[in-house]
Every structure is written in C-alpha cells, then in structure tokens.
Amino acid sequence: MTVKAYGAHAGDQPLESMDIARRVPGAHDVQIDIAYCGVCHSDIHQVRSEWAGTLYPCVPGHEIVGRVSAAGAHVSKFKVGDLVGVGCIVDSCQHCDDCADGLENYCDNMVGTYNFPTADAPGHTLGGYSQQIVVHERYVLRVRHPETQLAAVAPLLCAGITTYSPLRHWNAGPGKKVGVVGIGGLGHMGIKLAHAMGAHVVAFTTSESKRQDAKALGADQVVVSRDANQMQAHINSFDLILNTVAAPHNLDDFLTLLKRDGVLTLVGAPASPHPSPEVFNLISKRRSLAGSMIGGIPETQEMLDFCAEHGIVADIELIGADQINDAYERMLKSDVKYRFVIDNATLAG
Ligand code: NAP
Ligand code: ZN
C-alpha cells in the first residue's frame, strides 16, 4: 500500500512530500492510521546525517499516536479502533537476555522505527511523518489518555520514556534532589516526571526566558547554567542529574554539583563528543557518569499509564507537515515550547 509521507532524499536537502510503501499487515501486525507525530531532536541529527549511517530516503518520526485500522489474524492485544502509540522500537530479536527482561531498547538487534535495515521496501524502516505504519503488536502501546489529548501524548513515546526510564532506574522520588539540564522536548518532560515522582527538581537552562515556564512545569528551583554563581550555590548537592542537551559542552560544570555517589546521566546525544570530564571530579566523591537510551516496551507502557493517571502530557506546538523544515530551524535555536507535533492529517495535501 502506498501512503503519503514527509522525508529527505539526502542530508543536505530539506524534507519534502513523498510516497512510501507500507507492508500488508501480517498475522501479528497492527496497522495504524497515524493522527500525530512528535518531532524529536534525534530526527534532525538523523535526517541531516549528523550521526553516521543515515539511509535515504529518510522519513523520521518516532513519537507516533493514532488509531488501529487493521489487525492481523493472531493479534491479541489490539482491535480496530483502539488508540495506540509507537515509539522508537518496531522490532528486536525477542530471545536475548535484554528482550527477555523487557529491555528491547538494549537488544543488539533492535530495529528502530526509522533508519534501520528491514525486509520491507525500500530496505530500511520509515518513521511516523507518514499517514500509516504497520508494526508487530509487541511494539505497540496502549494509550489511555482522553482522545482530546492525543496530540500532546505523542511526545511521551520518546521524550517521555527517555526521561522516565533513567529517573526510575536511579530512583528519583521523595527526598531526592534531581537536576534536569536543558529545557527542550526531553527536558520539559523530565521536569514534569521527576516532579510527579516526588523529587525536589532543579531545572538548568541556558535560556533565562524559560525561568517562569520551568516553574510551571514543576521545577522547584531554576538555575541559569551560564551563571557561575548560580551554579556554585548547588555544589555537592544532587543525587541525580539528567542531561538532555543536544550539543557538546563541559560536563564538569554538572559533575561538581553531585554529592557523594551522585549520578550524572547523559541522554542528549550530540553529533560530536563532549570534552572529557576531569577525573578528579569523579573519584573525589565516587561520582558516576552514566547514559541511558529510551526504554523498553513494558516500561514505556508503564510510563504512558503513569502519565494518564497523573494527567501528564507534553506542552506542544501543533504544526502542518509543510512547516517541518522551519520547525527544525527553530529547535536548533532552542525556540520551541516545548515539542513540535505534526498533525498528520496535513500529509494528505
Ligand atoms: P531539544 O528539544 O532541541 O532540546 C534540547 C535543549 O538543550 C534545548 O532546548 C536547550 O535548552 C538545550 N541546549 C541546546 N543547545 C545547547 C547548548 N549549546 N548548550 C547548552 N544547552 C543547550 O532536543 P530534544 O528533542 O529534547 O533532544 C535532546 C537530545 O537528546 C538530542 O541530542 C537527541 O538526539 C537526544 N535524544 C536521546 C535519546 C536517548 O535515548 N538517549 C532519546 C531522544 C533524544 P535550554 O534553552 O533550556 O538551555
Ligand atoms: Zn526521540
């Protein structure tokens, strides 16, 4: 089946309307009419070939929500009409230790929602900037939010789980002081989630103009990270800092804010490396520098249910597909409050 999509033919070209093929649903497949798709900074890194190995044409998008429009004969979890989501994962080996643990995100054979080799035409996966997608039911999530919130649910499928998973892994909660660095798509979700988990939340931003917003999102304190005095006031005090920044920067500024045994977790994935941290900032207080990548399917469902229960959605700007190139430029200037979401109905033209 042919559907409309938005994608790029090369790293130095803008995204444009294109036709792509979707497979006929197999026995375990769910076909989804995509209503909305969030715009992640990873989409920019990938479509512009900032990370190695982009396959073209590249149709990004891994914050997908919509309705089931067909289901294969052996699909047991979903039926036509259900509200569902698809995040960054559409397949994995299903038998390694990581898959058995529900951590498909760490499976060596994980298949990402776009830009991963697949048997389907054109030989690699194509993402959610499209009218439809066909996915094995194991990788489809149930959406329990009201349908009126559907557009604002989309960013939970990547920005939500990518911040929820490390917050849970490193036990964000009451009595813990948690920092969130960068108030963009991931960061604003990190603030909301850490606040809902009961942590004392400090937002770090390079944008003084986001101070009031950060408070409204749930930050107890806001620090402008370029102000050395404001940073110094928090030295040796954090249990956990979640760093979502999409550009290389000095990690020592944040490592020194951790208390003994504190953890700085990187989720931002810049195209070029951060300067190496100063070893003495790690060994002097047994601090850890860590990383985390999205989250597994069971935890993604847990996160969606947690958000539905706590009334959490993303703060979004809804755009038409033809605004995507402008949206990328605005994201590069940190000018989005706080996630662009494509209205996929506009793909029809
Ligand atoms: P985003 O919406 O563009 O937000 C990034 C934020 O970082 C900006 O809003 C800005 O916040 C801050 N920032 C940008 N440039 C900066 C600089 N030079 N120095 C300091 N701060 C800067 O991006 P996103 O969608 O949240 O994604 C963030 C990163 O996470 C990307 O690299 C993306 O690829 C990566 N990512 C990783 C995973 C994973 O699994 N680990 C999943 C999804 C995305 P302020 O204005 O507040 O400073
Ligand atoms: Zn993403």
pLDDT of residue 121: 93
- The count of domains in the chain is 2
Residue that the structure tokens 């995509």 belong to: 34
User: Do 7 and 144 reside in the same domain of the chain?
Assistant: yes
User: Do 218 and 270 reside in the same domain of the chain?
Assistant: yes
User: Do 17 and 70 reside in the same domain of the chain?
Assistant: yes
Boundary residue ending a domain (291, 306, 327): 291
User: Do 194 and 284 reside in the same domain of the chain?
Assistant: yes
Instruction: Tell me the best of 245, 331, 335, 340 to mutate to test the pocket of ligand 1, counting ligand atoms within 8 Å of each CB and taking the most.
Output: 245
pLDDT of residue 58: 98
User: Do 65 and 109 reside in the same domain of the chain?
Assistant: yes
User: Do 18 and 100 reside in the same domain of the chain?
Assistant: yes
CATH number at residue 330: 3.90.180.10
pLDDT of residue 117: 97
User: Do 82 and 229 reside in the same domain of the chain?
Assistant: no
User: Do 323 and 216 reside in the same domain of the chain?
Assistant: no
Q: For 139-148, how does the pLDDT look when each residue is reduced to its tens digit (9 = 90+)?
A: 999 999 999 9
Distance between CA 229 and CA 223 in Å, rounded? Answer: 10
Q: CB neighbours (10 Å) of residue 333?
A: 8
Q: For ligand 2, a single-atom ion, which residues have Cβ within 5 Å?
A: 40, 42, 158
Boundary residue ending a domain (276, 291, 306): 291
User: Do 251 and 322 reside in the same domain of the chain?
Assistant: no
Distance between CA 38 and CA 157 in Å, rounded? Answer: 9
Cα-to-centroid distance, 308 and ligand 2 (Å): 20
User: Do 308 and 183 reside in the same domain of the chain?
Assistant: no
User: Do 30 and 152 reside in the same domain of the chain?
Assistant: yes
pLDDT of residue 52: 86
CATH number at residue 166: 3.40.50.720
Q: Is 118 exposed, middle or buried (0-12, 13-18, 19+ CB in 10 A)?
A: middle
In which domain, by residue range, is 16 found? Answer: 2-158+295-347
Ligand 1 atom index nearest CA of 293:
40
pLDDT of residue 85: 98
Name residues of the chain where pLDDT drops below 50. none
Cα-to-centroid distance, 45 and ligand 2 (Å): 10
CA distances to 88, 139, 267 from 110, rounded to whole Å, are 10, 11, 18
Ligand 1 and 158: CB distance under 6 A: yes
